[in-house]
Structure 1
Amino acid sequence: MSTYKAPDLALVGEEHVRRYRETGGEVGYEWNGAQILLLTSTGRQTGQPRTSALIFGRDGEDYLVVASTGGAPRHPAWYQNLTANPDAEIQVKTERLRVRARTAGDAEKPRLWRIMTEVWPNYDTYQTRTSRVIPVVVLSPM
């Protein structure tokens, strides 16, 4: 039985990032019932900052994000950027934090995946759409 629920895509991509920044998260922090952070990583090819609006969860002090891209066949660019340079910045509402990213290991991923599917049940459906293993990324404040 699928728990997939099509999200409202009225606010996505660069527009989501712009509105979130302009309003300190007043617009864009809550999205389709989930909480959103802004992740700024360094482009692995350009060296330029790249910002994405991502659903997040928490595990203690750490922030969790999922590199799903809706179950696309390739990892999202932000994830590839973090594998090249794990130091990044997140913004949660008006708070900005430096973080170091790592991909959850095999032993911890099932527990972290459960945390994230409670936040966004569609992740289970996204995994069925692709043969790649969708990573859970742990963002630890530095």
Structure 2
Amino acid sequence: MAVKDSPTGWVNEHIQKYVATDGAEGHEWRPGVHTLLLTTKGRKSGELRRTALIYQRDGDNYVVVASQGGKPQHPSWYFNLSDDAVVDVQVAADKFQARARTAGPEERDRLWKLMNEVWPDYSEYQKKTDREIPVVVLEPVKG
């Protein structure tokens, strides 16, 4: 099944470079800021959707934030996880399946701090919205 990349222009360009170079271009988006590619299954369309997200490692897991720049609604990829938590992930040249889950309150506090260390704008995004911005843990599927 073909994958549809983010319709946002600069994100789409980022994904194309990432895919074409197996992450050699795009994994490090800015100095010290790394991104992964997350592919979810559309909850309405059933289509595969791919986006690029800033991440941090937490042990064997990968952590991403559903910030959408502080918009009032969660990003589409986050809603897609509610129907199908099994996702495809690419980190540089490494491709694997993971199970996504939203961090609970205590874990979220710790991971929120971890993510703000690499991208302090998350705190500013939280100030723009009444929703609590979800922190998502991607647990690689062993197998």
User: TM-score with structure 2 length normalisation?
Assistant: 0.89
Is there any run of 5+ residues in structure 2 with no aligned partner, and where? 1-8
How far apart in 1 are the matches of 2:37 and 2:10? 12
Aligned residue for 2:80? 81
Q: CA deviation at 1:32?
A: 2.5
Tell me the SS of whatever aligns to 2:106: coil
Correspondence list, 1:88-127, <5 A: 88-127=87-126
Aligned residue pairs: how many?
A: 132
Tell me the SS of whatever aligns to 1:12: helix
Is there any run of 5+ residues in structure 1 with no aligned partner, and where? 1-10
Aligned residue for 1:21? 19
Percentage identity across paired residues of the two chains: 49
Q: CA deviation at 1:77?
A: 0.6
Q: CA deviation at 1:18?
A: 1.0
- AA aligned to 2:120 is P
- AA aligned to 1:119 is V
Correspondence list, 1:25-64, <5 A: 25-33=23-31, 34-64=33-63
Correspondence list, 1:124-135, <5 A: 124-135=123-134
How far apart in 2 are the matches of 1:116 and 1:12? 22
Q: CA deviation at 1:141?
A: 0.4
Q: CA deviation at 1:14?
A: 1.4
Q: CA deviation at 1:27?
A: 1.3
Tell me the SS of whatever aligns to 1:99: strand
Aligned residue for 2:10? 12
- AA aligned to 2:30 is N
Residue by residue over 1:88-122, the C-alpha shift from the partner in whole angstroms, topping out at 9 and shown as x without a partner, is: 01001111010000000012110010110011111
How far apart in 1 are the matches of 2:47 and 2:15? 16
Query: RMSD value over aligned CA atoms?
Result: 1.0
How far apart in 2 are the matches of 1:38 and 1:80? 17
Aligned residue for 2:138? 139
